[in-house]
Amino acid sequence: MSGPPAIAIRTIDLDGAVNSIDDVAAFRRTRVFVSHGGELIGSVDIENTFAPISATRLSDAIAAGLWFQIARRKADPKATSGARPALAHDVGVSVIIPTCGRPDDLRRCLQAVEAQRGTRPLEVIVIDNRPGPASPTAAVVREFERVVLIDEQRAGLSYARNAGFAVASSPIAIAIDDDVTVPAGWLERLVAPFARAEVMAVTGHVLPIELDMPSQCLFEAYGGLGKGFEAFERDGDWFRSRRVAVPTWLLGATANAAFRTSIFTDARIGMLDEVLGPGTPTGCGEDTYLFYRILKAGGTIAYEPTAWVWHRHRRDLPALREQIYAYSKGHVAYHLVTLLRDGDARALIRLFYSLPRTYLHRAWYRLRGESDYPLSLIALEVAGNLAGPWSLWKSRRRMDRLGPGARRPVASGIPSDRQISAAGMARSA
């Protein structure tokens, strides 16, 4: 399985000059992410066939592929996020970053997050999910004076994120992964929708920082982590109106998401479910189930594509296969949780009709040569789906053994230093 050829990633802001791209002669194709006024508006793919891209060809490609987005912004200045209400600058934000033995990624992530500091109160919390004498995380965190480090011994992204959510001192908590890099202005664009009281969560776009390896290109062919360049919102009415399973997996991911911390003490929503997620037998699904509960409780989730992050996809094929298999297990486990815990029979339609139908369509597109996604990975997804029920059972047994993770105090949304240290979780950098 060789995968599709590498794709060069480049960026351009239309506020500046459109110059030629001369450093892409090693690539057959170039993907150009286009911004205007610092806000991402879309992307265009150019088949440059191992040659530089002239300024004229670049301009023509942008005009042909993004003419509608450009025209809309010129015709309606209110279409820009800068024209929409902003969150008051005295509202604090806590950024929660779990990590597990990836010091280089973590350092890049923290450097970019620290550059976001301005007038808004900002708390940065790193959770070491593989602590111990051999862990490199503490040494990295010590390079950043204002970053707090928490140890979470129980493996699993849900345990780690919940440890951060439990001690976050701000009304807004942002979840990102340690392998993302945030651009200038990201934080303010991500939290802006919270200016409206009904918004309980905001998700942002996730873009590939590189597509140099076959595994990275295949992950984009799989679907990637981004959800497009158009903003949208989903609420309780949309949740109830769906006749089939609620597609919360289309709303974003906790690689780039923000939440009101009040939801974590709401009995209808609560913390991430530690039965689901990376580091557990189920493999994923913790964020989609949190989105599900927010919508079921009547909250609104806003997708803000202008608040994008750069994500470093897996660079080798075995890691990609492991990731896709985990996603496939977790997808089924998530639906089983909504069925068994929430009594949502719409999950049955997804599991026994629309999901198999999706795989048949994808296989058909591949056989017709309309997709770069190989049949071997489709078969791997099906195998992961079949393992979903067993994985959920194993994960439930695991959580029964390990116990629930950290929880936010209900009496006070802001835990004191004494509470944190008594829980044995926090230690400063």
- b or e along 327-339 (b: 16 or more beta carbons within 10 Å of the residue's beta carbon)? bbbbbbbbbbbbb
pLDDT of residue 39: 86
Mean pLDDT of 280-294: 97
pLDDT of residue 421: 29
What is the Cα–Cα distance from 295 to 269, expressed in whole angstroms? 9
End-to-end CA distance of the chain: 44
Checking if the pLDDT of 295 tops 80, the result is: yes
Question: Which pLDDT band holds residue 333 (cuts at 50, 70, 90)?
Answer: very high
Question: Which pLDDT band holds residue 3 (cuts at 50, 70, 90)?
Answer: low
Mean pLDDT of 338-357: 97
Structure-token pair, residue 170: 């701000």
pLDDT of residue 416: 35
- b or e along 202-220 (b: 16 or more beta carbons within 10 Å of the residue's beta carbon)? bbbbbbbbebbbbbbbbbb
Instruction: Give Cα separations from 307 to 51, 121, 310 (angstroms).
Output: 32, 19, 10
Mean pLDDT of 272-286: 97
Instruction: Give Cα separations from 61 to 44, 54, 67, 313, 328 (angstroms).
Output: 7, 11, 10, 26, 36
Question: Which pLDDT band holds residue 80 (cuts at 50, 70, 90)?
Answer: low
What is the Cα–Cα distance from 75 to 56, expressed in whole angstroms? 24
Question: Which pLDDT band holds residue 73 (cuts at 50, 70, 90)?
Answer: confident
Domain residue extents for the chain: 7-81, 86-319+403-428, 321-400
What is the Cα–Cα distance from 140 to 429, expressed in whole angstroms? 9
Q: CA Rg, the chain, in Å? A: 22
Lowest mean per-residue pLDDT among 168-182, 230-244, 402-416? 402-416
- Torsion, Cα 363 368 371 373, to 10 degrees, reads 40
Mean pLDDT of 249-270: 96
pLDDT of residue 420: 29
Mean pLDDT estimate for the chain? 92
Structure confidence by residue, pLDDT tens digits, 123-159? 999 999 999 998 999 999 999 999 999 999 999 999 9
Question: Which pLDDT band holds residue 2 (cuts at 50, 70, 90)?
Answer: low
Question: Which pLDDT band holds residue 422 (cuts at 50, 70, 90)?
Answer: very low
Stated as kind and residue range, the H or E segment containing 39 is: strand 39-47
Question: Which pLDDT band holds residue 1 (cuts at 50, 70, 90)?
Answer: low
Mean pLDDT of 177-188: 95
Q: What proportion of the chain, given as a percentage, has pLDDT over 90?
A: 86
Q: Which long-range contacts (CB under 8 A, 24 or more apart) does 345-349 make?
A: 346/242, 346/243, 346/244, 346/245, 346/246, 347/245, 349/243, 349/244, 349/245
What is the Cα–Cα distance from 164 to 175, expressed in whole angstroms? 9
Structure-token pair, residue 24: 């892409």
Nearest Cα residue to 359 out of 411, 367, 80, 295: 367
Checking if the pLDDT of 382 tops 60, the result is: yes
Query: What three-state secondary structure class fits 351?
Result: helix
Question: Which pLDDT band holds residue 23 (cuts at 50, 70, 90)?
Answer: very high
Checking if the pLDDT of 370 tops 90, the result is: no
Question: Which pLDDT band holds residue 77 (cuts at 50, 70, 90)?
Answer: low
Nearest Cα residue to 399 out of 343, 339, 347, 337: 337
Nearest Cα residue to 140 out of 93, 105, 184: 105
pLDDT of residue 412: 43
Read off the DSSP letter of residue 156: S
Sign for the pseudo-dihedral over CA of 341, 250, 283, 150: negative
CATH code for the part of the protein at 86-319+403-428: 3.90.550.10
